[in-house]
Amino acid sequence: MSPEINYKAELVGVFGHPIAENPTIVMQEAGFRELGLNWRYLNIEVYPDDLAAAVQGLRAMNMQGINLTIPHKVAVLHYLDEVAEDAKLMGAVNTVRREGNRLIGENTDGKGFLRALRDDANIDPAGQNVVILGAGGAARAIGVELALAEAAHITIVNRSVQRGQDLTTLLEDKTPAQVAFVEWNGAYAIPAQTNIVVNASSIGLYPDITAKPDLDYDTITADMIVCDVIPNPPRTPFLKEAEARGARALDGLGMLVYQGAIAFKMWTGYDAPVEVMHQALAEVFKS
Ligand code: NDP
């Protein structure tokens, strides 16, 4: 066999349940095709009780890495050789990469958000005042990365007091940021000194696409940057309200593409073709 013949595909993918409708495959495979890489991304149905065996299988088949989605992001922490500091703080891993035989847990959700902020909105989070709506997984990831990137002050606004206080305490204890918690129990007025507002709640998620966070929208001003984590449809009613008041809007599709692009780079070593990946995912969400 000549030395350049290599029929072996490198494997990555996602473990989850349910998994059939997860669209990440479309952008990752578009990226592999664009760079001419013989890589495959597989949506793999893994039931909760089988996660340990699935990670063992990943090792046995020499897969290059994996994404984790519901319900495995927290449970997978038990089966890895190492977990990155930020993912440890969040208590959740959405991406596993390999270093030799070692499996390293990472979380690219918040990093994807930061990259959208930096690359698309040209904003450095250092020294900024931030309001985060929500305190679930997405809010934790974004809150931790913003705090580690030296955001000056973060206000967590959440309906469930316990969840909101847990995230506030985590950020206060483990990061340099100043943090406050506000219970979300009516139209929230955004403080005037706010620079960045993030809807990290699931309000507006498909199919409930007309829903929008309960805010006093007239407290949004033109000098704010307003961000949504909802990727589909990307132009949410929340972002439309913000734009109507002159604020700049950053959508959740960009964050979703960037978190995938960061995983792509961790796995392949190549810079991801973000435009191609963005286009591929936007097409899926249009249909
Ligand atoms: P979780 O279920 O962990 O958290 C949901 C959050 O939304 C909680 O804070 C919850 O408040 C709040 N919430 C939901 N409904 C309401 C409501 N009616 N009023 C007030 N608060 C509400 O979800 P995740 O954090 O994992 O995901 C949140 C969103 O982020 C999802 O839409 C997901 O698709 C998106 N996401 C986007 C990513 C991207 O790359 N663009 C990446 C990851 C997630 P409470 O605690 O009171 O229940």
- For residue 1, the model assigns a pLDDT of 57
246 neighbors 222 (Cβ within 8 angstroms): yes
pLDDT tens, residue by residue, 208-220: 999 999 999 999 9
**Rounded-to-10 torsion of CA 166, 169, 174, 179:** 120
Are 102 and 81 in contact by the 8 Å Cβ rule? The answer is: yes
pLDDT at residue 178 is higher than 80: yes
Atom of ligand 1 nearest to the CA of 113: 40
Looking at every residue in the chain, the average pLDDT score rounds to: 97
Q: How close is the Cα of 286 to the center of ligand 1, in Å? A: 22
Give tens-digit pLDDT for 95-119: 999 999 999 999 999 999 999 999 9
Compute φ and ψ for 174, nearest 5 degrees.
Answer: -110, 0
- Atom from ligand 1 closest to the CA of residue 109: 42
Domains for the chain: give ranges and CATH numbers. Answer: 10-107+255-286 (3.40.50.10860), 110-250 (3.40.50.720)
Q: List, by residue number, the catalytic residues.
A: 73
**Pick from 198, 154, 196, 144: nearest CA to 175:** 144
